[in-house]
Structure 1
Amino acid sequence: MIDAHQHYWDPARGDYGWLTPELTALYRRFAPADLAPLRASCGVARTVLVQAAPTLEETRYLLDLARQDDSIAGVVGWVPLDDPRAPEIIAELAREPKLRAVRPMLQDLADDDWIAKADIARGVEALIAHDLAFDALIFTRHAPALETFMTRYPALRVVIDHGAKPPIRAGAPGFETWARAITRIARFGQAHCKVSGLATEAGPGWDDGTLRPYIAHLLASFGAHRLMWGSDWPVLNLNGDYGRWHASAQRLFAHLNAQERAAILGGNAAAFYRLQLRNRPAVSSRLDNPAETPAPQRGSP
C-alpha cells in the first residue's frame, strides 16, 4: 500500500506562511519517525511526500529526507514555473530520482486564473520533458482555469489533490457545483485525483456516511483506475487521525473488486508517479481507530 499524499515539515525552517502557532495540532516538527508507527499499523509501506511551502529550499529539504528514508518513494516539490530560469531549475532538481512531480499551491494564489494566464510554458514543457507530473491544489473555483491549462498541455500528467476540496461542511448546497466541476475535469484523460483531505473538509463527527456521496462521485467520474488514496497527514490531525481515515477508506471502497481496491490503495500512485519500489520496508496490517481530534481550519495544504 502507498499513501499518495503526506507531509513532513519543521516550523523552525521559517517558510511555511500558512503554518501559525494557532494551529496547535500542527505547529511542531513532523518527521518520518512520527509517521512510521501509523503507517505500520495500517500496512502502508511507502508514501509520496508533498511540499507545504512555496520555496526551493523546502523542496531540497524534502529531497534530503527522501534520500535518508526508504519509506519515501517520491517527492512532490515546488518550483517557480513563471521564472525565466524554470527549465534550468527543473533540470537540476530532476537529477534527484525521487522527485516525481511539482505543485504550485494554486489555492493560495491571489489570481484564481493564474494557471491559465501565467507565462509558464517553458516551465511546463520542462516538466513534460523530464517526465514529471503536476499536482493541482485547487478548490472548485479553480476548475475552469485548470481545464484551460490541461487543454493546453495534454501530455502533462495531472492529479487533483484532495478531490478539489469539496465543501463537505456546507452539505447539499455546495455539492452540485463541486460535482459538476469534477465531472468536467475527469473528462481529461491525463487527469487523476487523490482521495485525500476529505476528512479535513468535513465537519466534526464525520463518518463513512458523511464522505460516501463524495467518494461515489469521484469513483463515477474518474473510475477506480484514476483515483489514489492519500492521508494528508499530519493536516489530517485537525479533524481525524491516520488509522480512522484509513479504516474509513477501506470500508468505503469495500464494494470494489480486489484489483480496483489495490489500484486505489497503491497501484495507481505507483504508476502515475513512476515510483521505484525496490527494497520495500516491512509493515504489519493491523488497523487502529483512535478517537477524533478537533475540527479543522481552512487553507492548509
Structure 2
Amino acid sequence: MATRIDSHQHFWQPARGDYTWLRADVPVLAPLVRDFMPQDLMPLLEAHDVTQTVLVQAADSQAETDFMLELATAHEFIGGVVGWVDLSRPEAAASLERMARHPKFKGVRPMLQDLPDDDWIVRAPHPDALQALVRLGLRFDALVKPRHLGALLRFLREWPQLPVVIDHAAKPPVGEADGEVFAAWRHRMREIAALPQQVCCKFSGLWTEAPSAMYRDADVVAHAVRPVWEHLLECFGPGRLMWGSDWPVLTLAGDYAGWIAVSEAFIAQLSTGEQAQVWRGTAQRFYDLQPA
C-alpha cells in the first residue's frame, strides 16, 4: 500500500461562529453543519495509510487559524497548517510573523472564489504582506475557479518568488470536457504551468465539482475526472502535482475510500517514483513537512 500525505483537509466546529458559509438553510450544505474534528478523520487516515495531512483554513478569520494551530500542536499527523490573514491590510505582515513562530504554520489562503472582485488578487494585496510571505518562507494556496485564472496568472508573474499551489485544480467543470469553460481552463492552466517558477497543483476537490448525478458513483466520476487528470499531468507532471481529499467537503459527493480509489486509477499508471511524488513527495517538498 502506498504511503500518502493528504495535502488538503479541513476541521471545523460551527458553534465557533467563524464559518458564515456553512448554512443549515442551504440544503446542499446542511450535511456539513456539524463538528468535523481529528477523531472523525483519524480512522480514515489509518485505514488508507495516510501518515500526514495539511490542514487548510475554511473561514476568513485569524481566530480559526489559531484554532487550527492548536489542533496541529495536539496531533502529530497534522504536518502543516494553511491559515488566513487579510492580505489587503499592511498589518497582515505582523500577523504573519506571529503565526510563523509556530513550526507547523506553512502559509495562507485568501478565499478568492468567494470575493466579489475576480481581480482581487492583482488589485488588493498589500505589498508589505506579500513581501512578508516571501521573507518568512511561507506559501500561498490559490482557491480559484476558472474565471480567476487570468488574474492569477498576472499575480504569479508579478511575484515569481512566492511558492503557489492551485487548490482543486481551479475547479474545472467536471463532466463537461467539450465545453467552452473547460477549454478556457485548459488554456490558462497550461500558461500557468509554463511559468519558470515553481507553481504546483492539487488533485483534490473534484468529485464535488461533478454533476450531482455522479455523486456516490466512483466509477462514473472517474470517467468524468480523467480529462482533468490527463491535462494536469501533461502540464505539471508528477513533480508538481499533489493528492488531497478536501475532506469533509468530499462527503457531499462521495467518501474518502472512493476518492482514493478514483485517484489510484490514474496515479497507478505512473512509475513507482512518480506515484510517490503525487501521493506524498510533492506535498512534503512544497510545504516543507517534517517526516511524521
Task: Tell me the TM-score normalised to structure 1 length.
Answer: 0.90
Q: Secondary structure at the match of 1:269?
A: helix
Matched, 1:136 2:150: no
User: Relative to structure 2, which stretch is displaced further, 180-189 or 203-212?
Assistant: 203-212
Instruction: Please tell me the residue identity of whatever aligns with 2:182.
Output: F
- Out of 50, 69, 72, the position equivalent to 1:66 is 72
- 1:226 maps to a residue whose letter is R
CA distance in 1, matches of 2:175, 2:63: 35
Equivalent pairs counted in the alignment come to 278
**Residue 207 of structure 1 aligns to a residue in which SS?**
helix
Cα offset for 1:208? Answer: 1.7
Q: Secondary structure at the match of 2:35?
A: coil
- Decide which of 2, 15, 34 is 1:12's aligned counterpart: 15
RMSD of aligned residue pairs (Cα, Å): 1.0
Instruction: Report the 3-state secondary structure (helix = DSSP H, G, I; strand = E; otherwise coil) of the residue aligned with 2:187.
Output: helix
Does residue 175 (structure 1) correspond to residue 182 (structure 2)? The answer is: yes
CA distance in 2, matches of 1:121, 1:62: 26
* Matching of residue 30 in structure 1 with residue 33 in structure 2: no
1:198 aligns to what?
A: 206
Matched, 1:185 2:192: yes
The 3-state SS of whatever aligns with 1:176 is helix
1:180 deviates by 0.8
Report if aligned partners of 2:245, 2:259 keep a CA contact under 8 Å in 1: yes
Match of 2:229 among 198, 203, 215: 215
Bigger RCO of structures 1 and 2 (CA < 8 A, at least 6 apart)? 1
Equivalent residue, structure 1, for 2:5: 2
Structure 2: distance between partners of 1:119 and 1:55:
16
C-alpha distance in 2, partners of 1:142/1:14? 28
1:243 is the counterpart of 2:252: no
Cα deviations by residue, 1:23-82 (Å, 9 ceiling, x for unpaired): 222110000110011111111111000000001000000001000000100000001111
For 2:235, the aligned partner's letter is S
Unaligned runs of 5+ in 2: 215-219
> What is the CA-CA distance between 1:101 and the residue it aligns to?
1.1
Q: Aligned partners of 1:45, 1:121: CA distance in 2, in Å?
A: 36
Q: Deviations along 1:168-216, whole A, 9 cap, x unmatched?
A: 1444213211111111111123210000011110123233211111100
Would the aligned equivalents of 2:164 and 2:198 in 1 still touch at CA under 8 Å? Answer: yes
Aligned to 2:281: 267
Residues 150-182 of structure 1 deviation map (CA, whole Å, 9 limit, x = unaligned): 111111000000000001144421321111111
**Residue 127 in structure 1 maps to residue 130 in structure 2:** no
Q: Once the two structures are aligned, what percentage of the paired residues are identical?
A: 48
For residues 83-137 of structure 1, give each alpha carbon's deviation from its aligned partner in whole angstroms, at most 9, with x where no partner exists: 1211111100100110001000100111000101114211011011010000000
**Unpaired stretches in structure 1, ≥5 consecutive residues:** 281-301
Of 162, 166, 173, 1:160 maps to 166
Extract structure 1 runs of 4+ deviating beyond 6 A.
none
Amino acid corresponding to residue 16 of structure 2 in structure 1: R
In structure 2, relative to structure 1, the CA distance for the partners of 1:64 and 1:148 (3 Å cut) is same
Shift of 1:237: 0.4
TM-score with structure 2 setting the length: 0.93
Residues 1:148 and 2:154 are matched in the alignment: yes
Question: Aligned letter for 2:152?
Answer: L
Please tell me the residue identity of whatever aligns with 1:248. V
Of the candidates 77, 83, 90, which is equivalent to residue 84 of structure 1? 90
Corresponding residue for residue 217 of structure 2 = none
